[in-house]
Each structure stands twice: as C-alpha cells, then as structure tokens.
Amino acid sequence: MSGLPPLATVHRNSEAHDAFASAIKQTSDQMKVVIKNGAAPQDKVISWIISVCPYFIVKSFGPFNQAVLDTRGHRPNPSGDVQVTKAIEKAMEQDRSEIKEPIHLICTAAYMKSIVSIGE
C-alpha cells in the first residue's frame, strides 16, 4: 500500500470521482431494491461502504419516499419515458464529480475508525 497515491491526490482525481459517482448510483439502485423487497425500512438512513479498491467512502442513503423508490438513477431506460431518460442522463452528467464524503484507504487506522462509526 505504500506505493499508492495519497488520499488528497485521489480525492482531486476526476477518474476516481467518476468511479465513485457510478458506484454510488449503483448502490442507490441496489438499496431501493432491498427496500422494495422488504429487507430494510424505507424511513431510515442506511450507511453503506462503497469501494473503488483499495479506496472507499461511507455513504448514507435515505430515507426514501415512494417517488424515489420508483426511479432508477444508474441506467436510464431507453424504452421508457424520453423526458425521464433525459433528466437522468443530465443528472448523471452534472453530479459525476461531486463526491463530498472523505475517501479512505483500506487497512489503515482511519479505515478502522470509519468502519466502527457506521450507524452511529
């Protein structure tokens, strides 16, 4: 791990931000499925570890209202409503580099602290 770039460098890297933004959208969609299947409550905030190895962030999702549960952010459906598809694509363009959570490196003291603090 000593040969990896410092976290400050990774945090400024647009490719890393794009990878995290894509993973966040995928995770959000997965959380919606978990809630729809009754495995988690829709009225609670759920923290999730999102990894772009060897880096990760802890992202909180929810609470989800029904309108949010009815949409998917990761993959617009080309056979669906054209306006909704365009809105999702535009949103994906606008927020691709807006990762506000701190980026952590696995197997460090900060890693352990962030893991232990999930759900607090």
For 16-40, how does the pLDDT look when each residue is reduced to its tens digit (9 = 90+)?
Answer: 888 898 888 889 888 888 898 999 9
Q: What does the domain layout of the chain look like in residue ranges?
A: 7-115
Phi, psi of 2, deg, nearest 5 = -70, -20
Q: What is the pTM of this model?
A: 0.69
* End-to-end Cα spacing for the chain: 29
36 within 8 A of 57, measured Cβ to Cβ: no
Per-residue pLDDT averaged across 97-111, rounded? 74
47 within 8 A of 60, measured Cβ to Cβ: yes
Residue 100 CB: number of other CB atoms within 10 A?
Answer: 6
Cα gap 10→17, rounded to integer Å: 8
Is 101's pLDDT higher than 60?
yes
- pLDDT for residue 43: 92
**Residue whose C-alpha is closest to residue 59's, from 84, 28, 38, 35:** 28
Per-residue confidence band for 41, with pLDDT thresholds at 50, 70 and 90: very high
H-assigned helices in the chain:
7-12, 14-36, 66-69, 82-94, 109-116
